[in-house]
Structure 1
Amino acid sequence: MTKSSCERKLNQPCLVLSTSPDEAIAKRLAQTLVEEQLAACVSMIPQITSVYMWQGEIESDTEVQLLIKSDRVRLPALESRLMSLHPYEVPEFLVLDVDSGSEDYLAWLGQSLKRETPDVV
């Protein structure tokens, strides 16, 4: 892999999915991730219902879905920070690569994350 294609992969936009137990915690998580420029934007979808298996039991909870817009270079720092702030024992952290999108939106996303690039782990 050439350096330029490697750089493109690291700077590739991505969408991280996570959930929060309530809107207050979701807002604190979103605010922190955007302030620290680990995310360009965090969208919150309130009152989703999650049904899942936890410790051998089927659980059902109302949660807030977080849609975290970032890039691959920030993923290690983003994951570490989210895990340190999150109240869940095992927070959702699913990464979806963004292969294309509006040129203007993707440029804004990249500019919003411009500050110091976190160390790649």
Structure 2
Amino acid sequence: MKTCLIVDDSKVIRKVARHILETLQFEVDEASDGNEALNQCAAREPDVILLDWNMPIMSGMDFLRAYRASQNSAAKVIFCTTENGIAHIQAAIDAGADEYVMKPFDRETLETKLQLVGCI
């Protein structure tokens, strides 16, 4: 079974994403900020990370840079955020994101992005 780490400070977004991912047969873990996510990735590398941009403690971009610089950084990373400017999208891709999805998202959109990165 594929694994996904949802990194978002919103409990509602984590709950919605968890529901969608579980219907797609993913085993799901959650983190509420980038620092917590780094610790979880060090303990158990997920197949894919669904990552928010704006979070307290450690932002999504700071997490992504630290994660990609680490030894184990093979997971596909899909940014999932309200930031929709071309500059934000380009910065995320440049920092190592594999895909980008806008909030709010639905099952079909998330499933398409997961297919694009080769996780389903």
TM-score of the aligned structures, taking structure 2 as reference length: 0.29
The structure that is strand-richer by fraction is 1
Q: Which has the higher contact order (CA 8 A, sep 6+)?
A: 1
- Which structure has the larger Rg? 1
The structure that is helix-richer by fraction is 2
